[in-house]
Amino acid sequence: MEETVTTAQMRAIEAAAIAAGVATGLELMERAGAGVVAAILAEWPELAGHPGRAVVLCGPGNNGGDGFVVARLLHGRGWQVTLWLYGDPGRLPPDARANCDRWRELGALRHLPRPVVARWFFDYLPAADGLGPGDLAVDALFGIGLARPATDVARLFQRYSPPDRRWRTVAVDVPSGIDADTGLPPTDPAGVPAPGLIPPAFDADLTVTFHAAKRGHRAGAGRPPFGRVVVVDIGLPRIT
């Protein structure tokens, strides 16, 4: 039977590996980002020789740190990368901050408003940063760390993963807006619905997760917003 882990188990596995000297947090983050890029090129091999545009959405935690690595590696392969950060770079966790600094040596760090206000954000940008066929939108906003509805960034889902998109969409670990343990959007404690028809989660064609599938992947696999789920080995010990 395929191994699956909960969010709590995954965090414990990573923490134990770092404490035991199996790998540093930076090394795990580098392996994760490289695994995402490898999975993208395995899923769409035609992209390997034809780099296009990529928009990478980075969040305020270590999932955002993975996104910085993805952005840097795509840039190194000739992609035109636009990176948006949702959060304060000065408050990033140490490993994510280190990779943010590495990215800033290569390209601009654009800041998203908190919350993402449609009028300001949509008026500022060309349609989805000019994405088209052969391009990528990468969601590295929250990963397994989400414990509440992603209402503050739902406009990003509407912009970068609409149903009629012409580009490919990739989620790092878990599509933002989804609880990694249930495979569903978290319940708003107040029971307040999202305004209008704003989607509750990023809609991915490909979800790349690490070490083992999370419980929510298997609960939701085969339907939106996960797309195809790929598990990448980042060198962590298996559960015994």
Query: What is the predicted pLDDT for the residue at 5?
Result: 94
Considering only CA atoms, which of 201, 51, 54 is closest in space to residue 137? 54
With 0-12 / 13-18 / 19 or more C-beta atoms within 10 angstroms meaning exposed / middle / buried, residue 221 is middle
Segments of the chain scoring below 70 in pLDDT: 1, 124, 126-128, 188-198, 220-224, 239-240
Query: What is the predicted pLDDT for the residue at 103?
Result: 98
Give the pTM: 0.93
Q: Which amino acid is at 163?
A: P
Query: What is the predicted pLDDT for the residue at 73?
Result: 98
Query: What is the predicted pLDDT for the residue at 119?
Result: 76
Q: Whole-angstrom Cα distance, residue 116 to residue 154?
A: 8
Residue pair 9/96 in contact (Cβ under 8 Å)? The answer is: no
Torsions phi, psi of 51, nearest 5?
-60, 140
Query: What is the predicted pLDDT for the residue at 197?
Result: 55
Query: What is the predicted pLDDT for the residue at 223?
Result: 62
Query: What is the predicted pLDDT for the residue at 230?
Result: 96
Residue pair 151/212 in contact (Cβ under 8 Å)? The answer is: no
Q: Whole-angstrom Cα distance, residue 35 to residue 170?
A: 12
Q: Whole-angstrom Cα distance, residue 55 to residue 131?
A: 8
Considering only CA atoms, which of 225, 185, 190, 226 is closest in space to residue 208? 226
* C-alpha distances out from residue 138 to 50, 55, 95, 116, 170, Å: 17, 6, 19, 17, 5
> Which tokens sit at 66?
């993975």
Query: What is the predicted pLDDT for the residue at 60?
Result: 96
Which domains, and CATH codes, for the chain? 4-232 (3.40.50.10260)
